Each structure stands twice: as structure tokens, then as C-alpha cells.
A and B are shown apart, each in its own frame.
Chain A
Amino acid sequence: MSLEAAPLLPPAAAFAAGIALAVWLGAGALPLLVLAALCLLAAGAALRFGCDQVAASAVLAGAVSLGALSAASPAVPADHVARRALPPSVILEGRMVEEPVSWSPDRTRLLLDVEAVQDGAERQPASGRVQLTVYGEAPTLAEGQRLSARARLHSPVGFRNPGGFDYPAHLRRDGILLVGSARGDGLSALTPEVPPWPATVRRWAVATLRARLPESSAALEAGLLLGERTALPRETDEAFRRAGVYHVLAVSGFNVALLASSVFFSLSLLGMPRRATAIVAGLVLAAFAVVVGAQPSVLRATVMGLLLLVSVLIERESQVMNALALAGLILLAWRPGDLWEPGFQLSYTATAGIVYLSPPLSAWLKERGWPAWLAVASAVSVGAQAGVTPIMLAHFNQLSLVGIAANLLVVPLAGAATTLGMLALSVELASAAAAALLFNALWVLLLALRASVWLAAAVPAAMIHLPAPGWLAVGAWYGALGLLPCGRRPWARRVALALCLVVTASSAWPWLRPGDRSLRVSFLDVGQGDAVLVELPEGPRLLVDGGPGGTRRFDVGERVLAPFLWNRGAARLDVVALTHQDGDHAGGLAAVLRHFAVGEFWETGRSGPGSADLERALGSARPARRVLGVGQRVWLGGAVITVLNPAPDGGPASANDDSLVLRLDWRGVSLLLTGDLGPGGEARLLQRGGRLRILALKVAHHGSRFSSSAAFLDAARPDLAIISVGARNPFRHPSAETLARLESAGARVYRTDRDGAVILETDGATLRVTRWAQRITDRFDLDAERPRAVEPDSLTPEPAPL
């Protein structure tokens, strides 16, 4: 394919590059504006003197600076709620931006455009977009409705760990600078509930599907048709992910293309004139896009679909790649931040992969005697998969091995189910009895779809997890793909081969990299809870506790620990230790056991693992289970781990006082992990005697004032104290008293609520402590009498505050 066929591709790519560069350069609006103007002037001048090549380059440079200009974040207005000094609890008045979203019965998410805030008796106009989480029963609300809510507002905080998802940045791209929580009874509607027509259509469609189809099938059809996945059973969701066919559930360009083509062809078959058909199909397409909402993939497909229909109208041949570039340009000009969203990236890379790679690939397959239909379907599946592979790895660490094959079966079934669903819903308007027949047929189709996805997901190693690829690997991958269509030329083959080698080498690097023979301890930011990963000098990994999680709440194990471990290239944990069964320590471990090979599971034996979910995960993962008690020692990876608690006959004690307490020694570096040990446990630990003096202490029970007594700290005399605690936790951890005691004991305190992940790295002589939220590393000299901080060295400049 030549560039003449897609003249819009270079400016679209230049515009996207400008957006990407803006984040790194951070230039102001005025210089960019001047630059763009200069580029255009230069282009004009070059054109005047007949240098067409120069003019083209100048136009592209102008597109880059325009892209950077569009990405420059607008100033926050003075009356924005984020700029107000507000008390912890305020009354907000605002308008619902979208329909409420509810993933569990007692929790609803609202997006509110604030109009006024009431602080005490005073009501002041305000602006800004706020995302509210409503707990408990909320009144039924609709898009566009005005309401008032008593809410607690705060800046969004993600989990700040290496390679973690930047949640605040994601919200900022949607213009959300503040999030908040409210109780259902603190909400009151100011105007009646009158949803706009797209929301009404959507509600009607979901309700009809629920009434006409059995539960799971209705949830699946709602996902296929409208991208409405809130009712989808967890198993179905998981199976679609594992099989690598999740894209059919996120309303994608696929639905739009199906709708447009089925309307177009059925109307043509009915004998409607070609132009009228194109107009009707275009109208249906636009209506569908408005109903399902403005996700990047829908917009992309709608713009492309409309362009193709227009080309029918004006009877000109259209180039799909050009339509794709135009859709990208329009979307990025409207919402530049979308460039960083996985949905945008997946949609464009998949489509580009299909458009660019499939034709030569299917021609190649046909030459080898494949039947035409199979060659085309395989080429489309391979092209899409090749396009999205780096994106899936970068955002989700996922590589689907069955995806290409599964899509061959699933996409036609999903297409048929989508088309039939639309037909059934339209017939429902005319005759419920006729629609019932169609819904029954649809049910069979949905069962077949679910069965094939379930089978694909049951294949062993259907999906594997790999570390996110670096820029080098991604660039080389797309470079190699770009050369594939000219694979018949020897030079192209050689370059493509070299690029493939680069991809392989840089992807394998995390495993091939020789160990640096140092001890690394990461106190991860898991909110209110504990999760500590110890990477021992000779390679073994020990995870102590797994943060909060479970089936009913945000699962830290699934969403924080697993990605962190995948990005470290860790497929195996030698030991997982559970200090005690509280949810903020045990909750995330079930997901860890599901995703990683675990050698041993250490526990105290004082109580079960606490949740049935974890018990089940232990049952299917079958690690060797070791019950530990005081006095036991384990040599692991060159270090000695000593168990200091619980005592086997310690008498009755609370669950916290029975916490597993581990001491780790390596080359004079010592670390004490205390779980949630309380005052009673500390007293007994002191009674038993033994050397407690340590370098680094994981402060017990998130800094509760009852733990870390003066006597205990006197014996331990930690030089560093790490508190694993969540911001704004209701227990008011860490307490001021504990912080004061730690200070008077001479400990330097690190806190995961402020510092994000706290990472200790040592080779035995120096110790480096990284505060991930600030990207600052403190260095300590361990040979000194008492570790002394050498000046901190910054990894990168601190992120600019809002």
C-alpha cells in the first residue's frame, strides 16, 4: 500500500506524535502556537518557490505542534471545586453527566458536573467534574438530572507502585480532578428523573433483554449489543478475557460495522435505491453511536462507517486506511487525552492491523491452497492480533495464545448474535410473539457462543502473562509488521528479521538479566493493608500478605500485586506467607495463588485463611503448607528467616497477637515483619527474650497506637520504620502517638500512604530506599555506626502538582 492511497495518514500520525511529545516536553501554549504559525508560513513560502517536499515537511511539523498545542492542559478555572478550600464534608449541587453505573447492588458511581457547593449556610456557584461513589441504596437517577449530595471529596489516589496503573491521570483525561464518596440517603434529586432519549432506548433494550432471555444470556447479549457489562457473571467475564475475545463485549467497531452492513444489505435486497439505502444506514449508525455512548472505538467505527457510506453517496471509491486516519484525526482533535487510553489504542491498532496486513496475508494463504473464506478470516484474525499484541502486553500484561483461533469461531457467532439481537429488539416493538421466536433462536446462539468461549478458555495456557514491553520492543515490533507486506524483497526480509531479533531479545531480557545479588524488599502501596515482597539475593521470592481483596471489593491481588509481579518477570513465588487472616492481609492472596506458581504457603495455624475464596485457591493451587511457630528457622536464598511469633502454647490471644512475625537476616541487614501484632503479642515477644535489634521494621498494625510500644521499640531500635497504611482510613492509622514513639526511638519513618511503594535495596554495604510516589531514593551507608543518610538522588523530577 502506498501513501498516495492514504494521504491523511502522515498528518494524523504527526498530530498523535505531537500529543505524545507534549507530555514529555511540557511546553506552554503560546510558544506552540507561534511554532505552528511559523511552520505553516514556511510551508507557504516553500510552496511559492516550488520546493514541494519542504512544504510537505513543514505542514507535518505544523501538525506536530498543533497536536502538542491541543494536548496542553487547559487552566483550571478559579471557581473549580478542586481549587476551593473545602471542609471534609460538603453539599454539592450538580447535574448528572451520564447514567449512574452500578457494579454491585450497594454501590453506584455517579459523574457530576458541579454547579454549586454549600459550605455551612453559604451557597456558592462552582464548577468542575466530580466522580462520586454512592454507598447504600441510592435514589434512581438519570442522565441530565440535577441533584444535591452530601459528599466527602478528595483528590484521586491510585496505587503508586512500579509499573502500576496511573488512576489519577486516567481521571484527569476525563476532566475529573476530584472524587468523593456519599451515602445513598445523603442524596436528593432537585429535578424529576427524565432520561434523554438515548438513555431511554438503552434502558428499554436492557430491560427487554432481561425479560426475554435467561439471566446469564441476557447479560451477555447486553454486553454484545450495548457494551453494558455490569450484570455479566464473573466466570463469563473471565472466560472471555482468557480466550482473548473480550473485544466483542466492549462495544467495538465490530458492532458498528455489523449494524451498518446489515442495514445496508437488507435494505438493498429489499430493492431500495442505493443512495436512499446509504442515507438510512448512516442515520441508523449515528443513532446507534449516540445510544451506546462515545467510547473511542465506537466513534472510530462510526466516523469510518459514515465516510464509507458517503463514498457510496458520491460514488467515489474510498480507502479504508484513509478513513481510519481521518477518524483518528477527528477523535484526537476532540479528545487528545484519549491517545493514552487502552480502548483508543486497541481500536486503532486492531483496525490498522486488519487493513494493512490482512490483504497481503490472505493472498499469501490463498496461494498456498487455503480455501478463500478461511484465508480471509484467518488473515483478519492474525492482523488484528498482531496489531494489538504490544498494547495488550503494555496495559494488561496479557498475551492470548488461543486468541487467533478462538476469534475465528467467536467473531462469526458474536456477529450473528448481535445482528439477531438487533432484529429481535426491533421486532419486539411490532409484535411480542414474533420477537419471542427470535429471542429463543438467539438464546441458542448465545449458548453456542458461551460454550465455544468456555472451551477456548479451558485450554491450558490459553493466556499467559508477560512483563510490559519496553519502547524498543514495541517500536521494533511495529517496524517488522510494517515491512511484512514487502516480504518478497531480500532487504526487507533482512531488516524484518533483525527487528524480530530485537523484539525477542528485549522481551527475554527480564529473564536473562543476571541477578545483581542484592536484597530487595518492596513494601507495596495496597491502600489500607499489608503486602511485602522480599526478593532474596540468590533469587527466591517471598510474599508476605496480599493486601485487601476478595470478590466483593477492589481486589488488590488481581489489580495491583499481579501486575507488579508480572512486570518483574516473576512467574513463580517461592513462598507466600500469611501473617493472620484479616481481610486487609489475606484478601488479595487468592488472586496471587490463582495467577502464580507458589512453592510454599506459610501460616500460623491459629485460624483458617479467613476467606472461602482463599481456601479454594489454596485447594486448587496446592502449595506445600507449612505451619510456623516461634523458634523455627528457614534458610532461604542466602538469608536466614527466624520465626518470632506465635508461640505454640502461648495461651489464648487475639488474632492480631497471633500474627506471624518474621525476622530476616542477611549480611548484617535485618528486617522485622510484624503483621498486626498488638500490645499483648509484643509483651510476650519481649518476655521470650532474644536479640530484637534490627535495621528495618515493618511497623505493626499500620501504625495503630496500641502497637509499637515504647518498650518494644527500645528493644528493636529500628533505624528505618515502614508503615503500610492507606490514606484516609477510618481507623486513623497511623496514630500520632506511634509516630512520636518511632521518632523518639530514632527511626526514620516511611509511609505507603504518602510515599507510595517503599522499596529497600541493599548489597550489604549501602542501602537505597526508594519512595515511589516521589521517585526519590535515599542512600544510607550501612558501615557507619548508625546508618547515615547520604543526600537523596532523584530518579526523575517530581511530578508537577496540580
Chain B
Amino acid sequence: MLYSRPQLRLLLALGATLLAGLAVGEWRQGFPDAAERLERFDRDETPLLQSPPPPPAPSAPKPRPAPPPVATAAPAPAEAKPVDLNRASADELARLPGVGPALARRIVEERERRGGFDSPEALRGILGLGPKKLAAIRPLLSPGN
């Protein structure tokens, strides 16, 4: 015998693994969407800032996030680009209506202290940002945060 039984078992396992890898690789290339869905099967995809949908049946597949817009879409005007409350710099925040450099700095400081805002509502209580101003800037904030 060239190989002992344990050696043969190891070789068999290696061969099977490589073959499985080859097949899976082909499948992933052929059906990237299905692979992506499978990869995210246990993720809770309900967006944080919208009213929650009725609880889905546990076995139903989770909704997939919409694919990013394709490049053929007309570029949005720079003005309409929503501001991400948790990423924007003080300069970007200061461009919001009614928000000056001082208020923008306070917002950034508050964000650093709290480690981020769960929702635009969390901005309440920052000195100089009343309900009216908040209502005015809310539509300009990106819903992502």
C-alpha cells in the first residue's frame, strides 16, 4: 500500500473540501444575489428611523436592502444631498439653514460625547436648537442615522 488508511482519509477530506470550494465558487459567481441573501439571512434589516413594519413571520426571508442606484441615474444636485448627522463635519452641519458655526460645533461636541445620535430627535436639548429649527432641518438629514 502506498498510503495508510488515516492518510487516505486526510487526502479524501482535502479533496472533498477543494471540490466543494470549486462548486460553491461557481455558484456564488452565477447567483451573486442569492449568495448575498444567504449571507445576510440572520441580519435584522429593519431600518432604525422608520416606523417598524408589522413583525414578519419568522420563516419569511428578510427584505434585502435596495441596491445602490446605478451610475446611469442623473446625479442629484449637491444641495439636495442629505446630511448624515453622525458623519457630517461641523462645516457641513453649519450649511444647514439656521445652523451657524457655533451651533454646528456644539452639535459635533454633543455627538462625540454621546457617541452618536440615534435619531434627529436626539438633537433636542442642544443649546440653540429649538423644535422649530429642528423641524426645519429634519427633512435635510439623511434617514440613515
* Residues of A bordering B, CB below 8 Å: 104, 106-107, 135-136, 183, 214-217, 233-236, 239, 266, 269, 420, 434, 436-444, 447, 450-451, 454, 458, 550-553, 581-583, 587, 610-613, 615-616, 619-620, 654-655, 730
Taking A236-B42, A458-B58, A582-B124 as contacts, is the C-beta distance between A444 and B24 under 8 angstroms? yes
Taking A106-B116, A437-B18, A444-B24 as contacts, is the C-beta distance between A269 and B51 under 8 angstroms? no
Q: Which residues of A contact B25 (CB under 8 A)?
A: 436-437, 440
The answer to whether B17 has its CB under 8 Å from any CB of chain A is yes
For B44, give the chain A residue with the smallest CB separation: A235
The answer to whether B68 has its CB under 8 Å from any CB of chain A is no
Docked-complex contact A440 and B39, CB < 8 angstroms: no
Least distance between A303 CB and chain B CB atoms (Å)? 29
Docked-complex contact A619 and B21, CB < 8 angstroms: no
Q: Which residues of B contact A107 (CB under 8 A)?
A: 115
Taking A215-B39, A216-B43 as contacts, is the C-beta distance between A136 and B24 under 8 angstroms? no
Taking A214-B36, A233-B43 as contacts, is the C-beta distance between A612 and B50 under 8 angstroms? yes
Taking A215-B39, A440-B22, A441-B17 as contacts, is the C-beta distance between A550 and B10 under 8 angstroms? no
Docked complex Cα distance between A550 and B25 (Å) = 39
Inter-chain pairs besides A440-B22, A612-B119, 9 sampled, C-beta below 8 Å: A106-B116, A235-B42, A439-B21, A450-B41, A454-B42, A551-B118, A552-B116, A619-B55, A654-B131
Q: Which residues of A contact B52 (CB under 8 A)?
A: 612, 615-616, 619
Docked complex Cα distance between A552 and B85 (Å) = 13
Least distance between B2 CB and chain A CB atoms (Å)? 12
Q: Which residues of A contact B28 (CB under 8 A)?
A: 440, 443
The answer to whether B81 has its CB under 8 Å from any CB of chain A is no
For A655, give the chain B residue with the smallest CB separation: B124
Q: Which residues of B contact A104 (CB under 8 A)?
A: 115-116
Q: Which residues of B contact A553 (CB under 8 A)?
A: 114-116
Q: Within the complex, which residue of B10, B46, B55 is in contact with A266, where a contact is CB–CB below 8 Å? A: B10
For B121, give the chain A residue with the smallest CB separation: A610
The answer to whether B102 has its CB under 8 Å from any CB of chain A is no
Docked-complex contact A620 and B55, CB < 8 angstroms: yes
Taking A214-B39, A420-B17, A612-B49 as contacts, is the C-beta distance between A581 and B121 under 8 angstroms? yes
Interface size classification for chain B? 35 or more
Docked-complex contact A611 and B119, CB < 8 angstroms: yes
For A654, give the chain B residue with the smallest CB separation: B131
Docked complex Cα distance between A233 and B42 (Å) = 10
For B20, give the chain A residue with the smallest CB separation: A441
Least distance between A663 CB and chain B CB atoms (Å)? 26
A–B pairs, 9, beta carbons within 8 Å:
A217-B39, A235-B42, A420-B17, A552-B118, A611-B122, A615-B51, A619-B52, A619-B55, A730-B110
Q: Which residues of A contact B50 (CB under 8 A)?
A: 612
Least distance between B18 CB and chain A CB atoms (Å)? 5
Residue from the set A552, A582, A730 with the largest chain B CB neighbour count within 10 Å: A552
Q: Which residues of B contact A136 (CB under 8 A)?
A: 112
Docked-complex contact A438 and B17, CB < 8 angstroms: yes
Q: Which residues of A contact B55 (CB under 8 A)?
A: 619-620
Q: Which residues of A contact B4 (CB under 8 A)?
A: 269
Docked complex Cα distance between A389 and B144 (Å) = 41
Taking A552-B116, A583-B118 as contacts, is the C-beta distance between A216 and B39 under 8 angstroms? yes
Q: Within the complex, which residue of B18, B49, B114, B121 is in contact with A438, where a contact is CB–CB below 8 Å? A: B18
Docked complex Cα distance between A234 and B131 (Å) = 33
Docked complex Cα distance between A615 and B39 (Å) = 28
The answer to whether B38 has its CB under 8 Å from any CB of chain A is yes
Docked-complex contact B112 and A183, CB < 8 angstroms: yes
Q: Which residues of A contact B121 (CB under 8 A)?
A: 581, 610-611
Q: Which residues of B contact A611 (CB under 8 A)?
A: 118-119, 121-122
The answer to whether B72 has its CB under 8 Å from any CB of chain A is no
Docked-complex contact B22 and A437, CB < 8 angstroms: yes
Q: Within the complex, which residue of A434, A451, A612, A619 is in contact with B118, where a contact is CB–CB below 8 Å? A: A612
Q: Within the complex, which residue of B21, B114, B124 is in contact with A437, where a contact is CB–CB below 8 Å? A: B21
The answer to whether B30 has its CB under 8 Å from any CB of chain A is no
Least distance between B95 CB and chain A CB atoms (Å)? 20
Q: Which residues of B contact A615 (CB under 8 A)?
A: 51-52
For B130, give the chain A residue with the smallest CB separation: A654
Least distance between B137 CB and chain A CB atoms (Å)? 17
The answer to whether B135 has its CB under 8 Å from any CB of chain A is no
Q: Which residues of B contact A552 (CB under 8 A)?
A: 86, 114-118
Docked complex Cα distance between A359 and B29 (Å) = 48
Docked-complex contact B42 and A612, CB < 8 angstroms: no
Q: Which residues of B contact A550 (CB under 8 A)?
A: 118
Residues of B4-43 at the interface with A, using a CB-CB cut-off of 8 Å, are: 4, 6-7, 10, 17-18, 20-22, 24-25, 28, 35-36, 38-43
For B14, give the chain A residue with the smallest CB separation: A423
For A609, give the chain B residue with the smallest CB separation: B121
Docked-complex contact A438 and B51, CB < 8 angstroms: no
Docked complex Cα distance between A106 and B18 (Å) = 40
For A620, give the chain B residue with the smallest CB separation: B55
Docked-complex contact B115 and A441, CB < 8 angstroms: no
Taking A183-B112, A214-B36, A444-B24 as contacts, is the C-beta distance between A551 and B48 under 8 angstroms? yes
Docked complex Cα distance between A458 and B42 (Å) = 11
Docked-complex contact A440 and B48, CB < 8 angstroms: no
Residue from the set B6, B10, B39, B131 with the largest chain A CB neighbour count within 10 Å: B39
Residue from the set B18, B28, B52 with the largest chain A CB neighbour count within 10 Å: B52
Docked-complex contact A444 and B42, CB < 8 angstroms: no
Q: Which residues of B contact A438 (CB under 8 A)?
A: 17-18, 21
Q: Which residues of B contact A613 (CB under 8 A)?
A: 48, 118
Taking A214-B36, A583-B122, A612-B52 as contacts, is the C-beta distance between A441 and B116 under 8 angstroms? no
Docked complex Cα distance between A528 and B39 (Å) = 39
Docked complex Cα distance between A620 and B110 (Å) = 31
For B11, give the chain A residue with the smallest CB separation: A269
Docked complex Cα distance between A104 and B87 (Å) = 12
Q: Which residues of A contact B44 (CB under 8 A)?
A: 234-235
Least distance between A158 CB and chain B CB atoms (Å)? 18
Taking A215-B39, A420-B17, A612-B50 as contacts, is the C-beta distance between A443 and B24 under 8 angstroms? yes
Q: Which residues of B contact A437 (CB under 8 A)?
A: 17-18, 21-22, 25
For A549, give the chain B residue with the smallest CB separation: B118
Taking A437-B22, A437-B25 as contacts, is the C-beta distance between A447 and B118 under 8 angstroms? no
Docked complex Cα distance between A214 and B22 (Å) = 17
Docked complex Cα distance between A613 and B125 (Å) = 20
7 closest A-B pairs by beta carbon, nearest first, are: A437-B21, A441-B21, A440-B21, A135-B112, A440-B24, A552-B116, A214-B39
Docked complex Cα distance between A551 and B48 (Å) = 10
Least distance between B54 CB and chain A CB atoms (Å)? 8
Docked complex Cα distance between A776 and B35 (Å) = 60
Q: Which residues of B contact A551 (CB under 8 A)?
A: 48, 118
Least distance between B126 CB and chain A CB atoms (Å)? 11
Docked-complex contact A616 and B20, CB < 8 angstroms: no
- What string of 1s and 0s marks CB contacts (under 8 Å) between B76-105 and chain A? 000000000010000000000000000000
Least distance between B43 CB and chain A CB atoms (Å)? 6
Least distance between A171 CB and chain B CB atoms (Å)? 19
Docked complex Cα distance between A107 and B22 (Å) = 40
Least distance between A382 CB and chain B CB atoms (Å)? 28
Docked complex Cα distance between A438 and B19 (Å) = 9
Least distance between A550 CB and chain B CB atoms (Å)? 5
Docked complex Cα distance between A112 and B119 (Å) = 34
Least distance between B115 CB and chain A CB atoms (Å)? 4
Q: Which residues of B contact A434 (CB under 8 A)?
A: 18
Q: Within the complex, which residue of A239, A441, A620, A655 is in contact with B24, where a contact is CB–CB below 8 Å? A: A441
Least distance between B87 CB and chain A CB atoms (Å)? 9
Docked-complex contact B18 and A269, CB < 8 angstroms: no
Residue from the set A236, A451, A550 with the largest chain B CB neighbour count within 10 Å: A550
Q: Which residues of B contact A655 (CB under 8 A)?
A: 124
